[in-house]
Amino acid sequence: MPAARGSTTKLVAIAEVTAGTTPATPTMLEMVVKSFSPRATNNVITDNAIRSHPFTDRILAGTNVMEFGLEYNLDQNHDLLWETFFGQAYSSNTLKFVDALKTLSMESQTGGTLAKFDHYLGSMFSSMGISVSASDTEPVAISMSGRAMTSTLDDAATIATAVTGAGVLDPFTFIGGALTIGGAATKIMSGTINLERAVDPLMEVGSANPTEFVPGACKASGNLTVAYRDAAMSDIFEGFTQSAQVYTFSSADGTKSRALTFPKTRFLSFGRSITSRGIRTQEISWEAEYDTSSATVLSVVKDDV
């Protein structure tokens, strides 16, 4: 039998109402990704009783962990993944990072002669990274990581009643990007945004899988690389001034966008490297603070007209 290929694999997903339970007759959405990397682990129980030899005597099955990572280009296809991580659905084209946990049922469909289906139920995300660089030859990059409550691999049948295809996608590029800091347009060479949500798996006697995922602390932070040429903007960085930041990413054809607003950010570190005879750069790190007016650290406005 020929080996399975990535080119015949499709990842589909649907939001869950009850964590770990796929909705009845699900119409799942195709997720176009650059990579999907699930990894199953069994945290084994080791019998270390002293016996008449120096070796491990017994290794017993313990708790199950299914972790995964996703990488994809920023485009209009991945709203479902963002809603899951942020903890709420878009409302009037606005999404907020809130204190809630949403889950997905995901299915990896392996085509070709193998024709098998891997299922990941109760899937949630604990981290999300956004990266943009003016020297990149690729679109704006997104990476996410998370874990599932339960998983079954190599099933013979799909759990999807139907699949809605991703359609034509127009990735967002750095050319359509913009940033304002404190309301002032700011040119950057590169930037990263890191979002984290601590999640505790609730393990209870009688099961090798978590009963539920319990959300914990959330954090939003990032880094900027800026050319050293604007004294006024440098004063904001080196003064560690609290400032709002608004990142806007647009599609290559300019018809779609995502605007990410951090109402309050605090600059944490500031450096000016001299590494060549060319451009001098400033490297800045920052972290977002909770804003009582918007009740979040981050909100996203989408425009797909």
pLDDT digits (tens, 9 = 90+) for 93-129: 999 999 999 999 999 999 877 789 999 999 999 999 9
Q: Which amino acid is at 272?
A: R
Max mean pLDDT among 175-179, 182-186, 211-215, 297-301 falls in 297-301
DSSP 65-134: EEEEEEEEE-SGGGHHHHHHHHTS--BTTEEE--S----EEEEEEE-TTT-EEEEEEEEEEEEEEEEEET
Percent above pLDDT 70 for the chain: 100
| pTM for the full predicted model | 0.91
DSSP conformation class of 54: S
3-class secondary-structure state, position 7 = helix
186-219, pLDDT tens digit by residue? 999 999 999 999 999 999 999 999 999 999 999 9
Q: What pLDDT is stored for residue 195 in this prediction?
A: 97
